Structure 1
Amino acid sequence: MFRLQSFVVLFLWFPLALITASPVQERADHFLALANAGYQALYRVNSEAQWAAVTDVTPEHDAAAEATGKAYAAFNGNPAIINEARELLTREKELSELTVRQLKQLLLNAAEGPMTNPDLVAKRVTAETKQASIMNGFEFKLNGQKITANQIDDKLEKSPDLSERKAVWEASKEIGPALKQNLITLRDLRNGVAKEMEYPDYFSLEVAAYGMTTDEMLKMLEDWMTTLRPLYLQLHTWAKYKLAEKFHQPVPKKIPAHWISNRWAQEWPGLVEAANIDKYFEGRKPEWTVKTAEQFYTGLGFPPLPGSFWQKSDLYPVPPNEKRKKNTHASCWHIDLEHDIRSLQSIEPNARWFFTAHHELGHGHYFMAYTRPEVPYVLRLGAAPGFHE
C-alpha cells in the first residue's frame, strides 16, 4: 500500500514539475508584469497628449505632447529595461515564445529613445514634436487663398483643366519646403538613437520591426520589383495613353503627377469607365458614411466599436467659422491599448471618404481584436508595421 501511495504521489507531482516555471522564466514574468504595466500607463498619457495636439493645434498642446513624449521615451529607453531584457534573452531557450517576443519588442521600443543618451533623445522628441506641429497645422493655399485638403482632392478628382490641376497639385506639395529643414535635423537624430542600440541607421531599426535585416528587406523588395516590372511597364504605358486621350495631350514619356487624380499617386482612378457611386451619397450626411462603414464590420460578425469611439473621435471637417486647426490625414488610434479607440478624419459624403472610413474603422476592429487578456500590452500591435495597411 505504501508503495502504491508513493507511486500516486509521484504521478501527481510529476506533471506539476514539468509545468513549473524555471527560475529564469519566473524572473522574466515578474519583469514583464512591471514593464507592461508601466508601458500601458505611459502609452495612454502620451496618446492623450498627442491626440490633443493633432485635433487642436496650439502651442500649449504641442508643449504637452513634447513633455509626455519625453516621459514615454524615458520609460521605454530606461537602461534598466534594456539591460534586463538583453540579459534574459541570453537564456532565450529557457523562456516561452511569448516571453521572448515581449522582450524583443521592449528592445525595439527602447531603440526609439534609448536613455543611454538622454540628451540625444530629448532633442529627438523636441524635433519630432516640431515636425508634427508644422504638419498638423499647415494651411494649403491656392492663388493666395486658403484651400482645404478635401478641396484639393475634389479638384484633382474632377477638374479637366490641366493648368488648374497643376496649380492644385503644386499647392498640395507646399508643405514640403516647410518640413524640409527640420526633417534633415530629424534624419540625423533618428539615426543617432538607432546607433545607440547598435543599429547602423534608423532604416535598419525600422526594418528590424519586421523581423528582418536590411539586406533581407532590400532583397525581398528587389525580388518584387523584378517580378512586377513587366506588368508595371505595360500598365504604365497603357495609363499614359489613356491619360493623354483624356486630357487631349501628346503621349508623354513620363506621366505628369498632376494628371493623376490622387495627389500621392497611391491610386490611379478614372482611367476606365466604372460605376459612379457618388450619386448614392447625394443628400446624405457625413454621419451616414461612417455609420455605414461600422455596419460593414458588424455585418461580418465583428462586435460594434465602443460607445466612446463615437463620443471621442474627431470625424468631420472643422467648420469654416472655427479657428481650430487639426491634422487632415485620416488615422485611427488605440489610445489606452484597451477600449479607448478613436479616429481622426474629415469625412464628407462621397465615395472617397466612404472607402477611407471603411479603412480606418478596420484599424479600430484590429485594435479590439488585440484587446484581450492573453495579449500583453507591449504586443497589442500589428504583426508588422505594415500589417494593418
Structure 2
Amino acid sequence: MAEEQAGSLLGEIEGELRPLGIAVNLAHWEASTTGTAEAQEKATAAEARLRKFLSSKSRYQRIVELLHSLEIHDLLVRRQLELLALDHRPNLLPESVIDDLVRRSNEIQAEFYTFRARLDGREITNNEIIEVLRGERDAARRKAAWEASKQIAHRVAEPLLELVARRNEAARSLGYRDFYAMQLQLHEIDEAELLCIFAQLKRRTDEPFRAAKAEIDRRLAKRYRTRPEILRPWHYEDPFFQEPPLSEELGLARHFRGRDLVMIADRFFARIALPLRDVLDRSDLYERAGKDQHAYCVNIDREGDVRILCNLRDDERWMGTLLHELGHAAYEKFLPRTLPWILRQPAHIAITEAIAMFMDRLTYDIDWLEAAAEARPDDRAGLQRRAVATVRFEMLLLVRWVLVMTYFERELYGNPGRDDLHRLWWDLVEALQQVRRPQNRDAPDWAAKIHLAVAPVYYHNYLLGELIASQLRAAIRKDVLDGADPRGYVGRADLGRFLRDRIFAYGASQHWQALLQDATGSRLDPEPFIAEFVPTPFAG
C-alpha cells in the first residue's frame, strides 16, 4: 500500500517539477548568455516558482511519512523520496522570503554576468586581465590589472552581506545552526568528517607547499628583479592565486596557440566512447559583451539537452577548462534514460567535479598532449618534467586555496556581523597560500569571488572532486589498465565504459559514498591524492 502511495506521489511531483526545472534552466541559460535585464527577470521568476512549489509543507510531510514507512522496499522509490525531502527542506519558507532570497541572489549574479572591469580608461574582460598578469613585467601595470579584477567586489559586497544575513535567518527558522551547516546537511556531507579531512590535508601539505612556494617565489623574484619578500598578489598570474604562475616557463600555451580547442576535445571524447559533438553544437563557447565570463555545464531537461558555456581562448588554461566542462557534460549526457527522472542526475556535486577534474588534468599529460592535441615538443623530456612539477604544485595550491574559501565562508555564515572580514580574508590567504597582503589594504576582495554569491557552500566540492579523481585514477589503473601506463587515455574506449558502467549508470540512485565504495573499493579516501601529488618525503 505504501509503495503504491509513494509511486502515485512521485508521479504527481515529477509531473509538476519537471517543467518547472526545465524553465529554470532555460531562463538561467538565456540570462548568462545575453545578460539582458529581461532575461534576468525571467530567471528570477522561474527560480521563485520552482522554490515555491517545493515549499509545500503538506507535501513534505507526506514524503517524510512515506520514508518512515517500513513497507517501502523498492530502493529506487526510497531514494527518490530521500532526494525530494532534501529538495523541499530548505524551501519550507514563506513565499515572501523565497521571493526575497531569489531576487537578491539573482541581482548579484546579474552584476557578475554584465560587469566589466576598467583598466587604462577602458573596459576589459577577465581574459584580458589574465593576459596582463601572464605577460606584463612592469609591477605597476600588474598591480593595476590585479586591482581591476577586484572592482566588482565594491559593487556586490554590501548586497552579498545582506544576502548572507537573510540566508542565515531562513536556515535558522528551519532549525539549522546557520546556512552553511544547512547546505552541507542537505548535500549529504558530514561537516565533522569534512573538516577532519581538510585538517589532515592541511597538515600533510604544510611543508611541501612551503618548500614549493619558496622556490616559485625565488623564480618570480628573479623575473621581476626584486626580492621574494617584496612579492605581492599581482606578481602571480591568477587574481586569487588559484593557478600556478610561470606559465611561460612551462611552455604549454604555445602548443594550443592557433589550434581549434573544440576539435581537439571533440575528437578525444569520441575516442574514449563518450561522444559529445551534440553537446558542443548546443553550447555557447566564445566570449562577447554581456555574457557570463565564467564557465559551466547545464543539463536542461535530463532528456539529452546538455550544454556548456565557455569563453575560449587558444591556450592551455581554456583547453583545461573545456575538458573540465565536457567532463561534466559526459556525466550528464550518459545518465541512463531508464532511470526515474528524479534520479537522472549525478550522485553528488563532488562526483561530477571528480569526472571534470579527471579530464582537465590531462592538459598536463605529455602523452595526451602528443596523442590528442598532436603537439610536437622540441624537448619532450624537459616539458614532461616541467608539466609534472606544475601539476603537482597546482594540486598543493588547490588544497590551500580551497581551505581559504572553506574556512572563510564557514566563518562568513557563522559570524556575518564581524567587522573584520577584509582582514580575516587576508589572514587566511597569508597563512594558507603564503601570499602577502598589499600594504594598508582594506577592501572587500573576498566578494570578487562569484561562488560566494551564486554558488554558496560549494567550494569544498572542488577539493573533494580532486580527491575522488585520484581515487578513480587508482581504480582505473588497477581494474582497466591492469597497472599499465594510460598513455593519456587517448583511444581508451575502456575508460569511457568504466565511467559509464561504474559511475554514470547509477545516477543519483544511491548515496555518493556508497557509489564510491562500489566503484573504487572504498569510501572517500584522500590517500590516493596524497600518494599522487604530495612529495613522498613529507607524506608521512
TM-score above 0.5:
yes
* Structure 1 residue matching 2:334: 3-state secondary structure: helix
- 1:190 is matched with which residue? 167
Residue among 269, 272, 278 paired with 1:300: 272
Q: Tell me if 1:149 matches 2:126.
A: yes
Q: Which runs of 5+ in 1 are unaligned?
A: 1-22, 319-323
Mean alpha-carbon deviation: is it higher for 359-368 or for 86-95? 86-95
* Structure 2 residue matching 1:386: 3-state secondary structure: helix
Correspondence list, 1:335-346, <5 A: 335-346=300-311
Contact 1:332–1:360 at 8 Å: present in 2 too?
yes
- 2:332 is matched with which residue? 367
Residue among 313, 327, 348 paired with 2:292: 327
- 1:205 is matched with which residue? 182
Pair 1:218–1:57, CA change in 2 (3 A): same
Q: Tell me if 1:377 matches 2:352.
A: no
Q: Which runs of 4+ in 1 moved over 6 A?
A: none
In structure 2, distance between residues paired with 1:282 and 1:215:
45
TM-score, normalised on structure 1? 0.84
In structure 2, distance between residues paired with 1:225 and 1:67:
42
Contact 2:286–2:311 at 8 Å: present in 1 too?
yes
Contact 1:76–1:110 at 8 Å: present in 2 too?
yes
Structure 1 position 38, deviation (Å): 2.3
Pair 1:93–1:214, CA change in 2 (3 A): farther
After superposition, the C-alpha distances for 1:14-66 in whole angstroms (9 at most, x for unaligned) are xxxxxxxxx22222222222223322211101111111111111221111111
Q: Tell me if 1:270 matches 2:224.
A: no
Q: Tell me if 1:69 matches 2:36.
A: no
Structure 1 position 271, deviation (Å): 6.8
Contact 1:39–1:377 at 8 Å: present in 2 too?
no
- 1:234 is matched with which residue? 211
In structure 1, distance between residues paired with 2:264 and 2:244:
25
Mean alpha-carbon deviation: is it higher for 213-222 or for 365-374? 213-222
Equivalent residue letter for 2:347: A
Contact 2:21–2:301 at 8 Å: present in 1 too?
yes
Q: Tell me if 1:174 matches 2:151.
A: yes
Q: Tell me if 1:26 matches 2:4.
A: yes
- 1:136 is matched with which residue? 113
In structure 1, distance between residues paired with 2:286 and 2:162:
33
Contact 1:128–1:186 at 8 Å: present in 2 too?
yes
Equivalent residue letter for 2:7: D
Equivalent residue letter for 1:166: K
Pair 1:304–1:272, CA change in 2 (3 A): closer
Contact 1:305–1:364 at 8 Å: present in 2 too?
no
* Structure 2 residue matching 1:203: 3-state secondary structure: helix
Contact 2:133–2:238 at 8 Å: present in 1 too?
yes
Structure 1 position 126, deviation (Å): 0.9
Structure 1 position 232, deviation (Å): 2.0
Mean alpha-carbon deviation: is it higher for 363-372 or for 165-174? 363-372
In structure 1, distance between residues paired with 2:331 and 2:108:
28
Correspondence list, 1:108-127, <5 A: 108-114=86-92, 116-127=93-104
In structure 2, distance between residues paired with 1:149 and 1:129:
20
Residue among 246, 269, 283 paired with 1:313: 283
Q: Tell me if 1:41 matches 2:19.
A: yes
Contact 2:266–2:275 at 8 Å: present in 1 too?
no
Structure 1 position 122, deviation (Å): 1.1
Equivalent residue letter for 2:295: A
Structure of higher CA gyration radius? 1
In structure 2, distance between residues paired with 1:217 and 1:290:
36
Correspondence list, 1:276-287, <5 A: 276-284=251-259
Contact 1:111–1:193 at 8 Å: present in 2 too?
no
- 2:222 is matched with which residue? 245
* Structure 2 residue matching 1:342: 3-state secondary structure: strand
Mean alpha-carbon deviation: is it higher for 185-194 or for 88-97? 88-97
In structure 2, distance between residues paired with 1:315 and 1:127:
28
Contact 2:261–2:314 at 8 Å: present in 1 too?
yes
After superposition, the C-alpha distances for 1:72-97 in whole angstroms (9 at most, x for unaligned) are 11112222331122112222674433
- Matched positions, count: 353
